[in-house]
């Protein structure tokens, strides 16, 4: 029986490798994509319009009547976008001067070319990934086109609110790190491993604090992030943490023969609590010498409500440094020093806010692909990154992660993701069916997670 199942699985793998499945789309009525485009995206857009409207007085105080005129025009553009979304209008090219506009418009033309002359890309017909990314890019356009408010972040208030609502949890993880610092140098390898596993799980579950899935509603970390780890272990559906550890510890042991510094990259997701958990993990990797340098990758514009921009990183460090809690101010100071010393490097390549699947990167952003190729290990945080890693396609749940990556292999990589979209690969036979029986919302509730690893050149 097992041999037959394996053979069937192998055929399915081969078949799906050849015939890459369709992208998820709102054209499938009742799908999570459909419910997102129909309900959640208009809600997020409406909140963005309200935010700009509420800042009318601020704009007047800062810029006079010009600011008020700009506010009015920006709201007009966002309201037009909401109407296009709700009435399934055709996608239209971008008209601002942001450096990615040409690449966005080339992508839109490609989508157009793939359809017949009578067809056009639109919200309830095109791929979910394309249309959801397009919405956030059009929000950015509606601000960019209206100086002097063109550097306004419509999601900033929500991100700041989420940070302050997670204060207790942030204090717990930063205090834990400070206490670790005092013990690290006497750690045995097994203790190092235990602490790495713990901090990787804290960063994994930090991904639940995402303001897109909540439609902008508060989604901060309220309970103790360390106390719940044990009970959450059974909710990790794929756990490749041993493989991640082995890669790190082997690099660490072979360091003497290594000519180049050990580099770990973290492709960031949400600001607030999740960002702090990523910085804690990064600091642990550096202070244990499991890594010599950490490269962070953030977004070049406000994105999916809570995704991290450079401004969010700087704001977070400044607020930690200003805290009355010693463990927070010490973390803020140490982390800012790491950026100044260059052992931490922050990048925000435009590719991360394009609609492309990551398997397009080597062709559409070869500079970023070769940058990532320098890494010993890349952590991809969150759900949107997972959707792009796997092309947001309707893969069978038992297809291997490597197949779904469709050749995206810049370096060994690990996805740390809580499930918030109906796509998941690399599961065991029957695992998805069991989950659907026990919790029909398992794919989209954020209650389940994965630590999923892929190594292009396994040793």
Task: Summarize as ranges the residues that interact with Mn ion (CB under 5 A).
Answer: 210, 269-270, 304, 307
Least distance CB 306 / ligand F1X (angstroms): 6
User: Which H or E run contains 140?
Assistant: helix 128-144
Return the residue matching tokens 């296009």.
84
Q: Which lies closer to Mn ion via its Cβ, residue 75 or residue 211?
A: 211
Q: Which stretch binds ligand F1X (CB under 6 A): 70-78, 234-242, 295-303, 377-385?
A: 377-385
Say what angle helices 241-253 and 189-205 make with each other, to 10 degrees. Answer: 130
Is 36 a residue that touches ligand F1X (CB under 6 A)?
yes
Q: Is 380 helix (H, G, I), strand (E, B) or coil?
A: strand
State in angstroms the smallest separation of the CB of 441 from ligand F1X. 12
- Taking the complex as a whole, how short is the minimal distance between the CB of residue 26 and ligand F1X, in angstroms? 11
Return the residues of window 417-436 that contact ligand F1X according to CB under 6 A.
420-421
Nearest-10 Cα torsion for 21, 369, 244, 390: -10
Q: From 18, 37, 19, select the one nearest 127 (Cα to Cα).
A: 37
Do 374 and 412 meet the contact criterion of CB atoms below 8 Å apart?
Answer: no
Q: How many residues does the chain have?
A: 459
User: Which of the stretches 170-178, 207-215, 285-293, 450-458 binds ligand F1X when contact is defined by CB under 6 A?
Assistant: 207-215
- CB of residue 418 vs ligand F1X: minimum separation in angstroms? 6
Structural contact between residues 13 and 403, judged by C-beta atoms closer than 8 angstroms? yes
Is residue 213 near ligand F1X by the rule CB under 6 A? Answer: yes
Residue number, 122 or 353, with CB nearest to Mn ion: 353
For residue 104, what are its two tokens? 């966005």
CA 203 to chain centre: 12
Distance CA 244, CA 261 (A): 18
- What's the count of helices (H) and strands (E) in the chain, helices before strands? 20, 7
**Residue whose CB is less far from ligand F1X, 284 or 380:** 380
One DSSP character per residue, 70-120 reads: HHHHHHHHHHHHHHHHHTTPBP----S--TTHHHHHHHHHHHHHTS-TT--
Nearer to ligand F1X, 40 or 325 (CB): 40
Does 270 bind ligand F1X (CB under 6 A)? Our answer is yes
x-marked contacts with ligand F1X along 102-141 as a string, rule CB under 6 A: ------------------------------x---------
Q: At its nearest, how many Å lie between ligand F1X and the CB of residue 258? A: 33
Tokens 């398992």 belong to 442
Residue 207's binding partner out of Mn ion, ligand F1X, none, with CB under 5 to 8 Å set by partner kind: ligand F1X
Size of interface with ligand F1X, in residues (CB under 6 A): 16
Q: Work out what residue 213 binds among Mn ion, ligand F1X, none; the CB cut-off runs from 5 to 8 Å by kind.
A: ligand F1X
Binding residues for ligand F1X (CB under 6 A): 36, 40, 132, 207, 210, 212-213, 269-270, 304, 382-384, 387, 420-421
């Amino acid at each position: 029986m097992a041999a037959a199942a394996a053979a069937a699985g192998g055929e399915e793998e081969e078949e799906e490798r050849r015939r890459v499945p369709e992208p998820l789309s709102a054209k499938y009525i009742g799908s999570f994509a459909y419910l997102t485009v129909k309900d959640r995206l208009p809600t997020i857009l409406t909140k963005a319009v309200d935010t700009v409207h509420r800042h009318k007085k601020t704009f007047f105080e800062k810029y006079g009547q010009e600011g008020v005129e700009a506010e009015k025009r920006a709201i007009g553009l966002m309201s037009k976008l909401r109407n296009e979304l709700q009435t399934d209008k055709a996608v239209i090219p971008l008209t601002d001067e942001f450096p990615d506009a040409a690449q966005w418009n080339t992508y839109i033309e490609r989508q157009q070319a793939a359809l017949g002359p009578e067809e056009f890309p639109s919200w309830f017909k095109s791929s979910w990934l394309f249309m959801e990314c397009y919405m956030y890019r059009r929000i950015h356009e509606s601000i960019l086109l209206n100086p002097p408010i063109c550097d306004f972040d419509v999601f900033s208030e929500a991100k700041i609110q989420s940070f302050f609502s997670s204060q207790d949890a942030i204090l717990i993880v930063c205090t834990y790190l400070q206490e670790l610092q005092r013990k690290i140098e006497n750690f045995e390898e097994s203790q190092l491993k235990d602490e790495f596993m713990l901090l990787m799980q804290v960063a994994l579950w930090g991904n639940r604090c995402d303001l897109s899935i909540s439609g902008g509603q508060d989604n901060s970390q309220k309970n103790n992030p360390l106390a719940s780890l044990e009970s959450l272990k059974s909710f990790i559906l794929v756990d490749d943490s041993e493989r991640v550890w082995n890669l790190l510890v082997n690099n660490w042991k072979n360091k003497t023969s290594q000519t180049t510094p050990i580099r770990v990259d973290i492709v960031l997701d949400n600001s607030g609590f999740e960002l702090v958990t990523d910085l804690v993990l990064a600091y642990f990797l550096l202070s244990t010498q499991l890594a010599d340098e950490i490269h962070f990758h953030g977004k070049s514009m406000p994105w999916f409500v809570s995704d991290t921009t450079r401004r969010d990183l700087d704001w977070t460090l400044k607020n930690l440094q200003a805290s009355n809690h010693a463990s927070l101010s010490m973390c803020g100071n140490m982390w800012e020093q790491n950026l100044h010393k260059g052992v931490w490097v922050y990048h925000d390549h435009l590719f991360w806010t394009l609609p492309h699947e990551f398997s397009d990167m080597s062709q559409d952003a070869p500079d970023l692909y070769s940058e990532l190729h320098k890494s010993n290990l890349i952590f991809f945080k969150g759900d949107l990154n997972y959707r792009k890693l796997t092309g947001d396609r309707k893969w069978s749940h038992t297809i291997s992660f490597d197949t779904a990556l469709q050749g995206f292999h810049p370096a060994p990589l690990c996805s740390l993701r809580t499930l918030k979209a109906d796509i998941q690969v690399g599961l065991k036979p029957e695992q998805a069916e069991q989950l659907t029986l026990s919790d029909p919302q398992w794919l989209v509730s954020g209650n389940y997670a994965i630590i999923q690893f892929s190594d292009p050149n396994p040793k």
